[in-house]
Amino acid sequence: MADVLIVGAGPTGLTLAVDLARRGVTYRIVDKEPRFAAGSRGRGVQPRTLEVFDDLGLVDAVFAHGSDYPPMRAYQGGEIVWQGALGERADPAPDVPYPNAWMIPQWRTAALLRDRLAQFGGRVELGTELVGLEQDADGVTVTLSQGGRSGRARFAYVVGADGGKGPTRRLLGVPFEGVTRDDVRVLVADVHVTGLDRDHWHLWREPMIGLCPLGGTDSFQLTIADPDRELATLEDLVVYVGEKTGRTDFRLDGLTWLTEWRPNIRMATRFQVGRVVLAGDAAHVHPPTGGQGLNTGVQDAYNLGWKLAAVLGGAPVSLLETYERERLPIAAHVLGLSERLLDERTMARGHEERQLGLTYRQGPLAVDDRPRPGSLRAGDRAPDGPWAGKTLFDLFRGPHWTLLEFTGPVGAYDVRPGTWVLVRPDGYLGVVTRDRATVDAYLGNIGCARGEVVPAVVTAAV
């Protein structure tokens, strides 16, 4: 019997599978679709997600198969009326090595995650649908349908990463509260284009039409807001774009994927029911404004993976319950940000969208007993920095905890010499204290063995 069933093989489910695989947890990952999804529904990853992929051994591949976001260029017909950037770019810094969003289509991100999973000997079971679910105190019995046949299997835990319309949340009976916005309708397609440069993100307004070159591919993503008629074929798109832009110097000459969406802004009222957990779009669906949906799902999985592994290894079940207590407030916050950007009808992005400032300060796993804490506190993201000829991220990389003992200048960590900082496996600060006994008590309470903690002394400026 596998320990965990992951339902859904998008970026959220695949991230969880990779994290569990590197921890030695047995799992199955299934997806009801007969083939892997195509299309660039999600167009890029945020800096915090790049840090997750760094830890999972994936960031070099992501950089090799994507690109920076190109500058934007707006037209009135053939006349350029505005040029600018999607957001303010920042230079890499010792504490933030990946400060900018990176453009890579969602299908490519998923493919790279599958490649990484394969390095651990894992694979996705396609054409396999969850159709039944029963749980008791000791595990979950599921019914899976594959090729017209149904069979039952038993797991310690089930994770629904099967999207907003997936069966897991429905089988649990968890409400999905929110709205579908009928005032916005957007067509999205992946197309080939001749006669248009790939150095810019090309935009026309009234109606809004965008053609953005997709990094690491030879395609553009076409977006059309509120089209005034049905557009279902390549010829429909060619005629519409030519008519609305007034341009004859470029042409759409290929269509590989086409969809239409209305913004859904919804969140599950619970992220966990007993031994079944919801993650990604199964727990919260976002409009694409701000590029938050895929990234929030990846970070759900990153928060969940180490907790599942720990509980399966004997840690208290209460540790797994902190997943909902930490991630539900984050999802609600990010959902509000996405909705605000949708209402403002803006694509501009700033520091908040990069997800580096998201924190678990008020969560159940943050312990900071200093009488006068600084700007960096327990629950915050652990910054990078130079350490022993390498970086702290080099030290953090892997499935372990890290205990930092600061004895010298501390820089970005904003702590005094003699401070102990315990970094969680997902790169957040669990404990900041002047008393080593606080660290030992914390680790004991969550059932973490000393062998799971890598100690390090920080003596140079960070």
| Tokens found for residue 192 | 């080939």
pLDDT value, residue 144: 98
Q: What are the CA-CA distances from residue 18 to residues 10, 278, 416, 460 (Å)?
A: 12, 17, 37, 34
Nearest CA to 141 among 126, 124, 156, 160?
A: 156
Q: Are 196 and 202 in contact (CB under 8 A)?
A: yes
Q: Helix 293-312 to helix 11-22 angle, to the nearest 10 degrees?
A: 30
3-state SS, residue 380? coil
Nearest to 57 by CA among 116, 103, 13, 120: 116
- For the chain, what are the domain ranges? 4-66+104-179+265-354, 70-97+185-261, 367-458
Q: Give the residue among 327, 30, 278, 273 at the shortest CA–CA distance from 140.
A: 273
Cross-sheet strand order for the sheet of 284-285: 176-180, 264-268, 284-285
Average pLDDT over residues 294-310: 96
In this prediction, residue 111 has a pLDDT band, given cuts at 50, 70 and 90, of very high
Residue 426: both structure tokens together: 């997902």
State the architecture of 367-458 in CATH terms.
3-Layer(aba) Sandwich (3.40)
User: ∠ at Cα 147 (143, 153), nearest 5°?
Assistant: 25
Summary mean pLDDT of the chain: 92
CATH topology of domain 70-97+185-261: D-Amino Acid Oxidase; Chain A, domain 2 (3.30.9)
Predicted confidence (pLDDT) at residue 355 exceeds the cutoff of 90: no
CA dist list (Å): 9 to 2, 162, 287? 17, 7, 20
pLDDT tens profile 157-178: 999 999 999 999 999 999 998 8
Q: Between these two residues, 108 and 354, which has the higher pLDDT value?
A: 108
Who has greater pLDDT, 408 or 351? 408
Residue-level pLDDT at 345: 55
> Average pLDDT for residues 79-84, to the nearest whole number?
94
**Which pLDDT tens digit goes with each residue over 15-53?**
999 999 999 999 999 999 999 988 888 888 999 999 999
pLDDT digits (tens, 9 = 90+) for 363-407: 999 999 999 998 999 999 999 999 989 999 999 999 999 999 998
CATH code of 4-66+104-179+265-354, in short, is 3.50.50.60
pLDDT score recorded for residue 203:
96
User: Which pLDDT score, from 0 to 100, does residue 349 have?
Assistant: 52
| DSSP helix/strand/coil, 187 | strand
Average pLDDT over residues 119-146: 98
Tell me how far apart the alpha carbons of residues 140 and 174 are, in angstroms, rounded to a whole number.
17
- Assign 184 a pLDDT band (cuts: 50, 70, 90): confident
Q: How would you class 227 by CB atoms within 10 Å of its CB: exposed for 0-12, middle for 13-18, buried for 19 or more? A: middle
Residue 461's pLDDT is: 56
pLDDT cut 90: percent of the chain above it: 79
Burial class (CB in 10 A: 0-12, 13-18, 19+), 334: buried
Nearest Cα to Cα of residue 354 among 72, 63, 97: 97
**Whole-prediction pTM value?**
0.95
Task: Name the band, by pLDDT with cuts 50, 70 and 90, for residue 456.
Answer: very high
Residue by residue, DSSP assigns 91-107 as ---SS-S--S-EE--HH
3-state secondary structure of 369: coil
Residue 236 pLDDT class (50, 70, 90 cuts)? very high
Largest CA distance in the chain: 72
Residue 37 in tokens: 């999804």
For the stretch 215-231, pLDDT in tens is: 889 999 999 999 999 99
pLDDT 10s digits, 252-281: 999 999 998 887 889 999 999 999 999 999
290 pLDDT exceeds 70? no
